[in-house]
Amino acid sequence: MDEKNECCCHKTKERSEKEYKDLINRLSRIEGQIRGIKRMVEEDAYCPDILIQVSAANAALNSFNKVLLSNHIRTCVADDIRAGKDETINELVNTLQKLMK
């Protein structure tokens, strides 16, 4: 399979230790929030209280996406554009369209 038709699911990215730790820490906090929401449902918590916690988890996921997207643009996208791989722009546009649904 030539590089132009390579499926994005086969690509990988090496992250710096700092970037890796930041992303994992964010995901761990989000995981804790989700467990807390599950516990609230199990304990018959009041619906508005659960909704507020779900909103906080959504905000945390959005923040995670912003950090990940920013890192992606600064590294992968910028490197590919410098290397003349313009198809990366189409991939970025498609990713942004999916994120904005």
| Residues contacting residue 92 through CB under 8 Å, at least 6 positions apart | 72, 73, 77
Q: Contact at 8 Å (CB) between 56 and 18?
A: no
| Residues contacting residue 35 through CB under 8 Å, at least 6 positions apart | none
Closest CA to 10 of 67, 83, 91: 91
Domains of the chain: 16-99 (1.20.58.1000)
- Tell me the per-residue pLDDT of 54-82, one tens digit each, with 9 for 90 and over: 999 999 999 999 999 999 999 999 999 99
Q: Contact at 8 Å (CB) between 53 and 37?
A: yes
Summary mean pLDDT of the chain: 90
**Which is higher by pLDDT, 11 or 27?**
27
Model's pTM, two decimal places?
A: 0.80
pLDDT in the model for residue 101: 86
What is the pLDDT confidence band of residue 51, given thresholds at 50, 70 and 90?
A: very high
Dihedral of CA atoms 14, 18, 87, 79 in degrees, nearest 10, equals -90
Does 2 score more than 60 pLDDT? no
pLDDT in the model for residue 12: 83
Q: Contact at 8 Å (CB) between 27 and 10?
A: no
- Tell me the per-residue pLDDT of 15-32, one tens digit each, with 9 for 90 and over: 899 999 999 999 999 999
